[in-house]
Amino acid sequence: MPYFTSPVDGARLHYVDYGPADGPVIVFVNSLYFGTGMWEYQMLPLAREGHRCVGFDRRGHGRSDDVWGGFDLDSLADDVQGLLDRLDLSGTTLVGHSLGTAEIVRCLTRHGAGRVARVALIAGMAPGPARSANHPEGVDPELIRAGTEAFRRDRSAFFADGAHAFFALDRPGNELSEAYVESMIRSCHGSTARAGVALGELIAELDVAPELAALDLPVLVVHGTHDTSGPIELTGRRAARLAPNSTLEVYENAGHGLFATHADRLTADLRKFAAGG
């Protein structure tokens, strides 16, 4: 089982490396709570087609080390760069979901784009959903903190109660089996309680708007119209306006979990984007 060592504190972080070693590289950065398994409908078909698809379990997630520290955005971004350096990747398409989008943006801010050719922000939290002096339309940070407190009190109920909205299962076309949804709820328990609380607190203060505006590479923004975790007007559309060389793809009726409900469309969009389209 492959691991690399975090450049931050030596934590062991699990990664997967699918497809041919000489294929065009796509690196996937996960959502909060999930491990690399969330990308099965993207990584496996793209790897079969000849892409080298790489992903890793964030600290405190999946098969990576259970740690107390390193949940600040700088450290998380350094872990992403640590994977790129460990595997000596270049010309990379970086793909992030939810909080993973902010980790990607900060990684580029801190380390530059020497190993990265393009970035895809999928149902992103970037540039940040919370209200601030620079984002008065945002969500009250106290509401985000209340969600984190609900997670802290009973994360089993938090995951189970939130699954319906996460996948927007009330919207037409968003048909997932009950077994799949239950499996995703179980997989969320692969993240530690410490990681969930720390990263929930991070989201309440997240603001990478100036960093997004400074990106000097192609950016694909994919977002659903019914994303309740990262409402499109506060995150996806705003990210597309900020990034100078961006393309926005809006998925009608999609929620936050569009990697499953709109799996084939997302895979096709990533295939085209990774090819320079």
Point out the residues that are catalytic.
Answer: 98, 227, 256
Task: Give the span between the Cα atoms of 89 and 110, in whole angstroms.
Answer: 17
Centroid of chain to Cα 142: 23
3-class DSSP state of 196:
helix
Give the residue from 95, 102, 80, 77 showing the smallest Cα distance to 209: 102
Task: Give the span between the Cα atoms of 202 and 199, in whole angstroms.
Answer: 5
* Contacts of 182 by beta carbon, 8 Å cutoff, 6+ apart: none
DSSP state of 220: E
